[in-house]
Amino acid sequence: MSLFLRLRRNQTLFRTLPRFRTIFSSSTTKVLETFNEQFEIGSRLITLETGKIARFANGAVVLGIDETKVLSTVCSAKGDAVRDFLPLTVDYQEKQFAQGLIPATYMRREGAPKERELLCGRIIDRPIRPLFPPGFYHEVQVLASVLSSDGKQDPDVLAANATSAALMLSDIPWGGPIGMIRIGRIHGQFIVNPTMDELSLSDLNLIYACTRDKTLMIDVQAREITEKDLESALRLAHPEAIKYIEPQIRLAAKAGKSKKEYKLSMLSDKTVEKVAKLAESSIEKVFTDPAYGKFERGEALENITQDVRKVFEEEGDEESLKVLPKAVDTVRKKVVRKRIIAEGFRLDGRHLNEVRPLYCESGILPMLHGSALFNRGDTQVLCTVTLGAPTDAQHLDSLVGPPTKRFMLHYSFPPFCINEVGKRGGLNRREVGHGTLAEKALLAVLPPEDDFPYTVRVNSEVMASDGSTSMATVCGGSMALMDAGIPVREHVAGVSVGLVTELDPSTGKITDYRILTDILGLEDHLGDIDFKIAGTRKGVTAIQLDMKPAGIPIDIVCECLEPARKARLHILDHMEQEVTVPRIKNDCTSPRLVTLKYSNDALRRLVGPMGVLKRKLEEETGARLSVGDGTLTIVAKNASVMERILEKIDFIVGREIEVGGTYKGVVTSVKEYGVFVELNGGQQGLLHISELSHEPVSQISDLVSVGQQLDVMCIGQDIRGNIKLSHKATLPSPGSFKTNVVAERSAASAKEKANIWAPVWNVPSTEEKSNSASELPIGSKHEASEAKSKSAASQIPVILIRSVAECDDEEKSNSVDLSSKGTTVNNGVQSNRKSKSRRSKNTADSPSSDSGPLPYKNVKVSKPSIQKADDKATVTAKDLKLGTEVTATVYQVCAHGLVLELGGGLRGMYRFKENNKSDFNIGDELRVVCSSFNSKGVPVLSLVDNE
């Protein structure tokens, strides 16, 4: 019975299961309703999507180009806060998951906003802020996040357009939409929506934002583009940016919310009229008196405000007291703008196109690498330059763009510059923005990294502010760079242009306007735009346009370019009177940079375990060491520091000992026949008793002792492979007041620039053998000339050192087996495998240019030129160079090549090519060219193609 009941229950369940499945699927499965818009700009497909992600936000849009997608959300506060400004916050985020990476930080998560994130936030903020209605003071937050990035498109422009679409979908009152576009130029051709690869080749990076008929924001980085070309780019950008507007309107019609009625904090006409009646005449007197300075004018205006406050307090007008500062500011703006439009005069009595008095001074802080003080009116900026090693470059953790930045400009706006009390915090959006603008302006004239490997930091300290401190930073920074001796092509100057307009009350259109050159801080506040333009005599290098009204016609924007150009040329004239070319600074403050080539084994010895030895050297000398793959970069504050660090490195790694060179050594062992002297790098040589002094020596211990430091000269090598040293060669000859010629030459060379040494081991290619470290001066407009490298065949061969213990053993055994100790090479020098590693000297004379103060050393590779040797002359190892053609005789035929007799006892080798072995006989004459040298110094030859 129980089995029967169970079967009936199962049958019932199976019969009802399809009905349950239907109910389950219909009640729980819900398809998200999404809305999309697709359109094309600059041959790239762009998508707008809403409804799938961040559905609880007031407005949320995902905008994508290819595989780059950006989410932008907007929200507004619920309450009605009492304030007199718009608390708009724009945050832009780039998290590492967008490119499939885990952050390399200790906590493995993103930290505080980076500079790039702050700058991208400003790019979004600047065009959307003017479109909020007057009196809308509710808190609004915009959060833009990069969801994925393919590295091809910069997400900043995408985030701005996504933000505009999100505001259109929300219930927040806003006068959009806007469109933002990026324009590049390669070989004179403008490119819409360029990729990051295209931007690296472009001489223009223009970001342009607008409404349907007005310009809202411009941001430009360029390489001296002319005003005419810039105007063409702006007029091209406007119709391209408008293409973003229609898709946003269509998307808002599908999925947008109805705009909410927010309470607007508007000034009543009655309050403004009362303030104007009480204070307009007094304000006009202050603004028409050019004798007032910034703080005197501010104090007089504050006194007027207090007088009006007293009247309202006596009348008991509480409503007017709440908005009194705003009402007084409205009256001030009306008075100033009316006088500028009607009379053409400004607050300080200047004409509309007049620049304030200028004062420039460079080298104000001699101990620094470079410094300059720039004054324009009451605005004062102090700029300094600091040079560092390539490893001092800033590391950038951004989704797009280069990983490092070697030129940095840091702008600081301390509270004392406007006579206020304030706290110094972290990164400030305004300071970051102003510093980046000046950095873009100066970057265009810096020498390329290959010619100038320094990392450069410009620090701008605002000492007094009365308008356009960022443009003053451009001028001061340019002068400081020249004072530091950096070979910038020419000066860069900047000026800020303002605009005052008069509107038709009924239509809101502009009926009259005036363009102001070099605006004051108050004119910036009371005017319509702040148009910062920087550049050289040739063209524009950076632009930043911000405005307060809801857009300006592009024709007026383009008209502002010419007054800015004239003012820029005027400022450049004054700057060039102070400094015209990079200064020559051969004093103790001139930094030095050296790039050396070593083997990785030598670098490991220099760095030490866990970098202990490297850090010790940096602490002892004050120099900075940067180790790369086969290279060592040294940065020192001056020549004396560079000398000390090079000397210490020589003693650690070792260097080549050449015949005729004078060196300092320490006596390590005293024998009856002479003393052993330890030279740098742990190398040792034998100083025979006959070479101690010009006078006969009977007892060596009477003259030298262990640990004593001696000046010795290398005079050759004995049959046992030991270096032969001489002390008497460094001493004056007896009975003569003249110093030894060789010693004098060595003393003179010691005063010259430090020699740079490179290793002789592991040199597989001809290029490495032709490397040389050349010291180049930083000059004005002269290119640093490339020093010619010395061929390995033309250098004096390296003398290899054997230890004292080995020499003692051989003296006792009196049996020397040269073949077992080393391998004889073509120059007759024995290579001892037990000897310590040492470096060969790869030096090149520095050019004689006197155009720059900061010599740096960089490895260059010179290509050998073909030289024909005289067939009848005897070829020696010293004469044979790369590219030399000679007639050789076959000395020996081997399995893989030939041994060729070059004459004078010099032999070389010729390798057979694969499947190309020909019949050669001993005595055959061949025309060959020296193509390289092997690791032992034997010349490698190639057949000359007579065709």
Residue 800: is it exposed, middle or buried by C-beta count within 10 angstroms (0-12/13-18/19+)? buried
Residues of the chain with pLDDT > 90, as a percent, come to 40
- CB-based contact 596:646 (threshold 8 Å): no
Cα 526 from Cα 517, distance rounded (Å): 15
558-592 burial: b if 16+ Cβ within 10 Å, else e: bebbebbbebbebbbebbbebbebbbbbeeebbbb
Alpha carbon 779 to chain centroid distance? 20
Phi and psi based region of residue 111 (left: phi greater than 0; alpha: psi -120 to 50; beta: remaining): beta
> Which residue type, as a one-letter code, is found at position 8?
R
pLDDT value of position 553:
94
**Triad 911, 914, 917: Cα angle to 5°:** 65
- Token duo for residue 350: 């200047």
pLDDT value of position 732:
83
Q: Smallest Cα–Cα separation from 757: which of 800, 715, 713, 798?
A: 798
Cis peptide before 177 (omega within 30 of 0): yes
Residue 895 vs residue 105, higher pLDDT: 105
Cα 704 from Cα 693, distance rounded (Å): 11
Cα 170 from Cα 675, distance rounded (Å): 91
| φ/ψ (deg, to 5) at 341 | -70, -45
Q: Smallest Cα–Cα separation from 173: which of 264, 254, 237?
A: 264
Report, as an integer, the average pLDDT of 697-702. Answer: 82
pLDDT value of position 827:
32
Tell me the β-bridge partners of 183.
192, 206
* Cβ neighbour number for residue 534 with a 10 Å cutoff: 30
pLDDT value of position 296:
87
Q: Which residues contact 56 (CB under 8 A, 6 or more apart)?
A: none
- Token duo for residue 310: 């007293």
Q: What is the pLDDT of residues 207-238, one digit of tens each?
A: 999 999 999 999 999 999 999 999 999 999 99
Report, as an integer, the average pLDDT of 389-402. Answer: 86
| pLDDT band at residue 719 using 50, 70 and 90 as cut-offs | low
Report, as an integer, the average pLDDT of 622-644. Answer: 86
- CB-based contact 420:103 (threshold 8 Å): no
With helix as H, strand as E and coil as C, how does 798-847 read? CCCCCCHHHHHHHHHHCCCCHHHHEEECCCCCEEECCCCCCEEECEECCC
Q: Smallest Cα–Cα separation from 50: which of 28, 77, 69?
A: 69
Rounded alpha-carbon distances, angstroms, from residue 649 to 139, 431, 621, 659: 62, 42, 11, 21
Rounded alpha-carbon distances, angstroms, from residue 412 to 221, 438, 661: 21, 12, 53
Q: Smallest Cα–Cα separation from 689: which of 678, 669, 675?
A: 675
pLDDT value of position 235:
96
Q: Smallest Cα–Cα separation from 936: which of 814, 858, 833, 820?
A: 833
With helix as H, strand as E and coil as C, how does 336-396 read? HHHHHHHHCECCCCCECCCCCCEEEEECCCCCCCEEEEEEECCEEEEEEEEEECHHHCEEC
Cα 174 from Cα 168, distance rounded (Å): 7
Residue 264 vs residue 587, higher pLDDT: 264
DSSP state of 134: T
Report, as an integer, the average pLDDT of 578-586. Answer: 82
Cα 643 from Cα 875, distance rounded (Å): 38
Query: Helix, strand, or coil here: 875?
Result: coil
Domains and CATH numbers, the chain: 35-255 (3.30.230.70), 269-343 (1.10.10.400), 358-578 (3.30.230.70), 592-653 (3.30.1370.10), 661-730 (2.40.50.140), 884-943 (2.40.50.140)
- CB-based contact 682:654 (threshold 8 Å): yes
**What is the helix (H) or strand (E) element at residue 18, kind and residue range?**
helix 2-28
Q: Smallest Cα–Cα separation from 221: which of 203, 200, 240, 195?
A: 203
Of the ranges 245-249, 655-659, 876-880, which is most confident? Answer: 245-249
pLDDT value of position 846:
34
Cα 520 from Cα 467, distance rounded (Å): 5
Is 857's pLDDT higher than 50? no
pLDDT value of position 472:
96
Q: Which residues contact 733 (CB under 8 A, 6 or more apart)?
A: 694, 740
226-251 burial: b if 16+ Cβ within 10 Å, else e: ebebbbbbbebbbebbbbbbebbeeb
- Token duo for residue 880: 């044979």
- Token duo for residue 659: 């015949």
| pLDDT band at residue 859 using 50, 70 and 90 as cut-offs | very low
DSSP string for 293-305 = -HHHHHHHHHHHH
**What is the helix (H) or strand (E) element at residue 19, kind and residue range?**
helix 2-28
Cα 456 from Cα 386, distance rounded (Å): 6
Cα 409 from Cα 649, distance rounded (Å): 33
Q: What is the pLDDT of residues 735-747, one digit of tens each?
A: 554 434 333 333 3
pLDDT value of position 797:
33
Is 874's pLDDT higher than 70? no
Query: Helix, strand, or coil here: 75?
Result: strand
708-742 burial: b if 16+ Cβ within 10 Å, else e: eebebbbbebeeebbbbbbbbbbeeeeeeeeebeb
| pLDDT band at residue 14 using 50, 70 and 90 as cut-offs | very low
Is 795's pLDDT higher than 50? no
pLDDT value of position 809:
52
Residue 644: is it exposed, middle or buried by C-beta count within 10 angstroms (0-12/13-18/19+)? middle
Secondary structure E strands in 689-785: 709-717, 723-726, 757-759, 771-776
| pLDDT band at residue 891 using 50, 70 and 90 as cut-offs | confident
Cα 173 from Cα 754, distance rounded (Å): 70
Q: What is the pLDDT of residues 535-575, one digit of tens each?
A: 999 999 999 999 999 999 999 999 999 999 999 999 999 99
Residues of the chain with pLDDT > 70, as a percent, come to 78
pTM of the model: 0.71
- Token duo for residue 872: 């009848």
Query: Helix, strand, or coil here: 14?
Result: helix
pLDDT value of position 704:
87
- CB-based contact 213:241 (threshold 8 Å): no
